Chains A and B, each alone.
Chain A
Amino acid sequence: MLVAPGSHRAGLAPHVEYAKPFPHWGVKKLDIETSVIEVEAGDFLIFHPLLIHGSPLEIPAKNIRWIGIARYSDFDSAAPLLLNESKFPIKRTDLAYREHFDKVRFSDV
């Protein structure tokens, strides 16, 4: 897994939709300095929602990689907008994150 250490402190990064190798969202600016995190079976990786991360293409991938993932959400920061408007999760989340992290009111966005 690739991560940009400390990127969580810079707040929300603009995202765009990429078409290849399948449609998915990623940060607009991809030329970011990253490090590889290597974990072994039994290790736990915990990361912040704003940490920029991804998985590189160059993985020798003969076998399946089985991993367990869980999310621990802060009850006081629940985002009801996201539950009802899942058709546009990134756009809505973008606004929601601005609201939450940058203290910008929705009316100002």
Chain B
Amino acid sequence: MMKSSVADFSANGFCVVKNLLCSDSRRVITNDIHRLVRLAVGPKASTVDHLDDLWGVLEDNDPKRKSLLYDSLGSLASLLKLFLKEEITSIINEIGGENLFLTNPQIRADRGCSRFLNLHQELGQLSYLTFTV
């Protein structure tokens, strides 16, 4: 897997590593997000269960709080742990060398036209050589 990922990356500028995160690991992160969003929504959360719906309640009723929460989600311990997993850092290091450090983890929640972005390059990062995962 490692060799083919690095070869794909070199040729195309990207690679996809399939099934790196099992459903149990995904569930840990999703549960963390769910719990935080539920806390942020407050009493109204008792009538809503699905994460997307909870997020919608927050968007509609308290966009400022939603924005604060959005910024905080990137600091979830489970997310940081995920991006520091050996399975992913070993590939990243093989591609970009040993001098890489993890920056700016974030959770994105995109819907509708907020997903749209014209073609672009990933400029404005902390380093000229910044690999996005």
Interface string of A71-109 (1 = CB under 8 A from B): 111111111001100100110011011001100000000
The verdict on B20 contacting chain A, using a C-beta distance below 8 Å, is yes
* Chain B residues in 8 Å Cβ range of A100: 128-129
- Interface size for A (C-beta < 8 A) is 71
Given A15-B120, A30-B119, A70-B83, residue A45 in contact with residue B128 (CB < 8 A):
no
A68-B82, A70-B104, A97-B128 known; A3 vs B13 contact (CB < 8 Å): yes
Q: Which applies to chain A's interface (DSSP): helix, strand, loop or mixed? A: mixed
Q: How many A-B residue pairs have CB under 8 A?
A: 251
Complex contact A70–B133 (CB within 8 A): yes
Contact B108–A12 (Cβ < 8 Å): no
Q: How far is the CA of A69 from the CA of B132 in the complex (A)?
A: 7
Chain A contacts to B: CB under 8 angstroms: 2-9, 12-13, 15, 18, 21-22, 24-27, 30, 32, 34, 37, 39-57, 59, 61, 63-79, 82-83, 86, 89-90, 93-94, 96-97, 100-101
